[in-house]
Every structure is written in C-alpha cells, then in structure tokens.
Amino acid sequence: MPRLRIVILASGSGSLAQAVFDSKLDIEILKVISDKQSLVLERAVSAGIANQYLPIGANRDIWEQELINEVEKLNPDLVVSLGFMRILPKAFIDKFRTINTHPALLPNFPGARAVRDALLAKVEETGTSIHWVDEGVDTGPVIGQVAVPINAGDTEESLQERIKIVERRLIVETLQSFIDNGIPEFK
C-alpha cells in the first residue's frame, strides 16, 4: 500500500502534531495548516514540513473557501485535526475524510472546554477520543478512546497534560491502524 498522505490542521502548541512528526509511521505529511500564528508552525518548520498560516480574517466564508482550496490542491488521503479549534464547514467535511482528537470520552463533554467540564461534573474518569468529523461539534463516530482517571487535586492543567500523553499515543496508533488496514469508510 502506498504511504498515507495527510494534512494536519492545528491551532496551538503542536504537541500532538509533534508526536506524529516523531513517529516512525509510513506517512507523508503534505502540510500543516494553522489558523493562528502558533507554536505548531514553528514545530513544522523545525521538522522540515511544509506549513501555512491561514488566518480567518473578517470574512469566515472566504477563509472556509481558501481552506478548501488549499487542501484540495494537496489531495490528501486524510485530514487530521490535532487541536484545530475551528468548526469545519460542511463543504470541507463532505470533500475530505477528516478525523479529530478530543480530550474526553465522547459523547461526554464535547466542545472546547472538555477538561474543565469533566472536572466540574466530578466524574471519576475522562480520557481522549479520536472521531470522524461530521457537521456537529465532536459528534462524529468514535474511532478509538482511552480512559484517564481523574485524581484528587487534579487541576485543569494537570489533567490536560495527562490526557495529552495518552492522546499522543492514540493518534499515532490510529494512523498506524489506517496504514495497516486502510482508512475505514465513514458516512
């Protein structure tokens, strides 16, 4: 099977992207695209990976079309959202198979404040999920999950860091599974 060709979308520090960069996966990272001037872009430069800062600006419709056009030029097998803090438009998800990482055991705690929400709910565990991106917010079918216990005294920051450790491993394992078995169908 030819190597898996991916585009990474990310908005933050890039620790999940770095796990993919450092993996021994048989992948070709075509480009890292960020909507923010963020550390993930610096990490991509350091890894010798093409990257692009694509800010939203005043008109979201224009940005969405620019994002679609850019990814379409790259023609990836898969788009991998790693901390990309934007809801992707229907036209994007209809065109590109896209997966996302999320710091909770979906369907619990969707959205941008999942770690805080888990702590406020006083649940005993949370975790991380990899799921297909659909039109909702973290509502696509789950591909894989790993639980993380919530310890007494956990803060949002300490729990987030423990989740990121398993999240990094899960994204690499998920991509390896796609390499070994093909990308499963989703729709």
The radius of gyration computed from the CA coordinates of the chain, to the nearest angstrom, equals 16
3-state secondary structure labels for all residues of the chain: CCCEEEEEECCCCCHHHHHHHHCCCCEEEEEEEECCCCHHHHHHHHCCCCEEECCCCCCHHHHHHHHHHHHHHHCCCEEEECCCCCCCCHHHHHHCCEEEEECCCCCCCCCCCHHHHHHHCCCCEEEEEEEECCCCCCCCCEEEEEEEECCCCCCHHHHHHHHHHHHHHHHHHHHHHHHHHCCCCCC
Given 31, 43, 102, 131, the catalytic residue? 102
Is 102 assigned a catalytic role? yes
CA triplet 51, 88, 146: central angle to 5 degrees?
85
**Catalytic site positions:** 102
